[in-house]
Amino acid sequence: MPSDVEKWKSEVYGNDILDHLYEFAEEGWESIPGDEHDAWFERFKWWGLYHQRNGQESYFMMRIGTPNGVLKPGQTEVVADIAEEYATGPASNPEFGDSWVDWTTRQSIQLHWIKLEDVPEIFEKLDEVGLSTQQACGDSWRNIVGCPVAGKDKHEHVDALPVAMELHDAFKGNEEHTNLPRKWKVSVTGCREGCGQGDINDLAFEPATKEIDGEDVRGFNVRVGGGLARNEPRLAKNIDVFVTPDRAAEVAGGISALFREHGDREDRYNARIKFLMDEWGPEKFRRVLQEDFVDFELETAGEDLRDEYSYNSGYANGGHSDHVGVHEQKDGNYYVGLNVLVGRMGTDDTAELARVANEYGSGEIRVTQRQNVLITDVPEENLDALLEEDLLEHYSPDPHPFMRGSIACTGTEFCSLSIVETKNRQVRFARWLKENVELPEGVEDFHIHLSGCTASCAQPQIADVSLRGMKTRKDGEAVEALDIGLGGGLGENPQFADWVKQRVPVDEVPGAIENLLANFEERRNGDETFREFVERTDEETLAELVEPEETSYEDPMMHNTKMTWYPYADDDGMDASPAPTDREDKPLPADD
Amino acid sequence: MSVALRTLDDGAWISVNDTREVSVSELWRFPGGNFCSCDLSDVVVEGFVETGVDGRTVEVRAYGQCIACGAKATTDWLPVGRVVDGEFRDVDRESVLCPQVAPAATAAAHR
């Protein structure tokens, strides 16, 4: 029997949702029938709107898709303006103030506290500069990710940006691909470092060379079925297909159609294409693709570049691990990667980022999968002045490794799925570690990813230290806790972290990392990286090296933040919530 | 009276009449036996697997992990609330929960 979600989707979905959304916006929050909330909130996702969690009724998270993380000149300032005007709520965040912009691990943008009544105005402002929330969430083609310096990278194998943009143009609003069994995440990578992180996507195009008719042709190998969510992480499988850039959209459309026809619509837990790949295997997948979904003969896979992959790998093989710092582009200009701790940037700072990018570069900003931003197209003669800007003191191109390596998802501040507080906690962790813990000599990359639940939006399984939200009891009281995993990373041979220590109370996690690093330093062979050390150490020993301990770190959010209406409110109890509210954040009268 | 009962958000919430009422991440205690070898399982609820009603009692089967012994499993049917006059009322889930036999009205409860 199809799920409730499939029933709702069969009634109204895709572009058709927009008229209803505008009608509800016009008439106000209360016009959504109470017994249709679940259905409409599910549908609104397709237009990039997630209803926030309990205690925050009538407020939405809005996701803006920026293909390949590219914000064209003129777009960043509009995002800042929209955040300033519309993304403020009834309470402040102690670290980030009243409004901010979140740069996400899928090179998108998230805003919070959005009122339904403001959505048409926001959509109009976004549309004026060529931005959209269409399919940013929901069961369809999500934001397409890739190497954030595609087209500018000095060493790239193939410029993948035109392909990413072609896929974006072809499959956003395309009714043939509007309603898929589940979300559809696509990565297009042309660089040598593997910055597109194709291994953890449903569909990945990866750089390759294939000899065709005696000539070496550059293009992509195709992998399918990666993903991290729900305790079921999978690496994308090689389906033995090479495709040229001009035929990538055709093959992508075939694979998307295959998913549409063969994906599981009865059980959403089993709906992602990784489970179809489990069932079929790559050989059958390729055969069905060839026979039923593509009109030309597929080439077999070409020679890939995976042995050069360095991004998020935990290896020191000469390639870069992120895009932070000053780097020369192939046109002789430079891009400057700024570290944005946990991906959250205040609204004023975002406006300042736009100004600085306009003054010293082309005005373009690019977002990375490590929640950072790049100012591109900076002539050499502008570099010194750019590096002197106040903005770069806080968002440094040369940050401390603990600041540089920190990623966090949204967490219980807004998200229905998360089990623990994340972003502010990761900020506190990073600051404490920076002040109190010495990294072993020469360690400049040390990635700590904190995800509030198994949905894995912070990509915890591919970090040096993986943190995942949990609960435990401490002194008899239920407290927020984290599972600790070690040794994950991408690269030529990607590995997911082993969860070696479970349910560590959150106030003991910084001490656990401090002890782990001391143990690593003591046992380290030469200049091996942390990932290399983990790989040669058995799991039992690793568990012993993680020694949770209370330290000077104090965590103010040990309690169940999920049961607050907003964890940072003076009175955080559910009964103190003003929600649901009207457009001006004034509480609406209760139904009865 | 028909009750709209469903899991939402990838099994993270139980929705009753279009309102999210019961969430994962709670710690539930109940007699061990079928779940793990502990006398009293103390389980972090990680995902809801099934929902149903037995009379007026809303029940679920949930996937989770015992924080005492580390065992991972799916619970028997456990009561999480009652529907009274069309409104959901929590049972005290801080107390020890009593497993139920499978609710007969599971299918009928879903709209």
What average pLDDT does chain A have? 96
Residues of A in CB contact (< 8 Å) with B are 4, 34-38, 53-54, 229-231, 268-269, 416-417, 419-420, 453-455, 469-473, 478, 502-503, 560, 562
Nearest neighbour of A472 by CB, restricted to B11, B67, B110: B67
* % pLDDT > 90, chain A: 93
Distances (CA, A) of A548 to A460, A502, A503: 19, 10, 10
Asked whether residue A551 falls in the same domain as residue A428, the answer is yes
Residue whose tokens read 């509009």? A78
Q: Checking DSSP bridges between strand B19-23 and strand B13-16, what pairing results, if any?
A: antiparallel
Minimal C-alpha gap between A181 and chain B (Å)? 14
Q: Does A257 map to a domain? A: yes
Question: Residues of B with CB below 8 A from A470's CB?
Answer: 44
Q: Does A362 map to a domain? A: no
Question: Residues of B with CB below 8 A from A454's CB?
Answer: 46-47
**With contact defined as beta carbons under 8 Å apart, do A312 and A407 qualify?**
no
* Continuous segment of H or E residues that includes residue A353: helix A347-360
Instruction: Encode pLDDT of A444-492 as tens digits.
Output: 899 999 999 888 999 999 999 999 999 999 998 999 999 999 999 999 9
Q: Does A497 map to a domain? A: yes
| Number of domains observed in the structure of chain A | 2
The span from the CA of A202 to the CA of A186, in Å, is 6
**With contact defined as beta carbons under 8 Å apart, do A449 and A457 qualify?**
no
- Interchain pair A416, B12: CB under 8 A: yes
| pLDDT computed for residue A96 by the predictor | 97
- Interchain pair A35, B18: CB under 8 A: yes
Which among A408, A282, A392 is positioned nearest to A344, based on CA atoms? A408
| pLDDT computed for residue B105 by the predictor | 46
Which among A563, A438, A549, A572 is positioned nearest to A501, based on CA atoms? A549
Range of the domain at A295: 150-308
Cross-strand partners of A334? A328, A378
| pLDDT computed for residue A352 by the predictor | 98
- Interchain pair A417, B9: CB under 8 A: yes
Please give the residue of chain A at the shortest CA–CA distance from B94.
Answer: A478
Minimal C-alpha gap between A414 and chain B (Å)? 13
**With contact defined as beta carbons under 8 Å apart, do B1 and B86 qualify?**
yes
Q: What is the mean pLDDT of residues A116-143?
A: 98
| pLDDT computed for residue B103 by the predictor | 55
The span from the CA of B102 to the CA of A525, in Å, is 57
Minimal C-alpha gap between B8 and chain A (Å)? 8
Q: Does A491 map to a domain? A: yes
* Continuous segment of H or E residues that includes residue A49: strand A49-51
Please give the residue of chain A at the shortest CA–CA distance from B111.
Answer: A4
Question: Residues of B with CB below 8 A from A453's CB?
Answer: 12, 24-25
Residues of B in CB contact (< 8 Å) with A are 4, 6, 8-13, 15, 17-20, 23-27, 42, 44, 46-47, 65, 67, 70, 110
Q: What is the mean pLDDT of residues A246-258?
A: 98
| pLDDT computed for residue A230 by the predictor | 77
Question: Residues of B with CB below 8 A from A268's CB?
Answer: 10
Q: Does A583 map to a domain? A: no
Instruction: Encode pLDDT of A70-97 as tens digits.
Output: 999 999 999 999 999 999 999 999 999 9
| pLDDT computed for residue A564 by the predictor | 94
Q: Chain A to chain B, count of Cβ pairs less than 8 Å apart?
A: 64
Question: Residues of B with CB below 8 A from A229's CB?
Answer: 10
**With contact defined as beta carbons under 8 Å apart, do A258 and A288 qualify?**
yes
Q: Which residue has the higher pLDDT, B10 or A244?
A: A244
| DSSP assigned state of A581 | B
| pLDDT computed for residue B109 by the predictor | 37
Asked whether residue A154 falls in the same domain as residue A301, the answer is yes
Report whether the peptide linkage leading into residue A580 is cis, meaning its omega lies within 30 degrees of zero: yes
- Interchain pair B15, A38: CB under 8 A: yes
Which stretch of A507-511, A561-565, A569-573, B32-36 has the lowest confidence by average pLDDT? B32-36
| pLDDT computed for residue B1 by the predictor | 62
**With contact defined as beta carbons under 8 Å apart, do A340 and A408 qualify?**
no
Give the range with max mean pLDDT: A56-60, A582-586, B15-19: A56-60
Q: Does A554 map to a domain? A: yes
Instruction: Encode pLDDT of A172-194 as tens digits.
Output: 999 999 999 999 999 999 999 99
Single residue among A308, A338, A373 that ends a domain in this structure? A308
DSSP codes, A193-244: S-TT-GGGSSEEEEEEEEEETTEEEEEEEEEE--B--TT--BPPEEEEEEE-
- Interchain pair A562, B23: CB under 8 A: yes
Q: Which residue has the higher pLDDT, A567 or B109?
A: A567
Minimal C-alpha gap between B101 and chain A (Å)? 24
Assembly ipTM: 0.84
- pLDDT-derived band at A592 (thresholds 50, 70, 90) equals very low
Single residue among A286, A308, A330 that ends a domain in this structure? A308
| pLDDT computed for residue A351 by the predictor | 98
- pLDDT-derived band at A560 (thresholds 50, 70, 90) equals confident
Q: Does A368 map to a domain? A: no
Nearest neighbour of B10 by CB, restricted to A230, A420, A502: A230
Which residue stretches of chain B have pLDDT < 70? 1, 100-111
Q: Does A538 map to a domain? A: yes
Distances (CA, A) of A474 to A48, A257, A516: 39, 50, 22
Question: Residues of B with CB below 8 A from A417's CB?
Answer: 9-10, 12, 24
Burial of A477 (0-12, 13-18, 19+ CB in 10 A): exposed
pLDDT(A590) > 90? no
Q: What is the mean pLDDT of residues A415-430?
A: 95
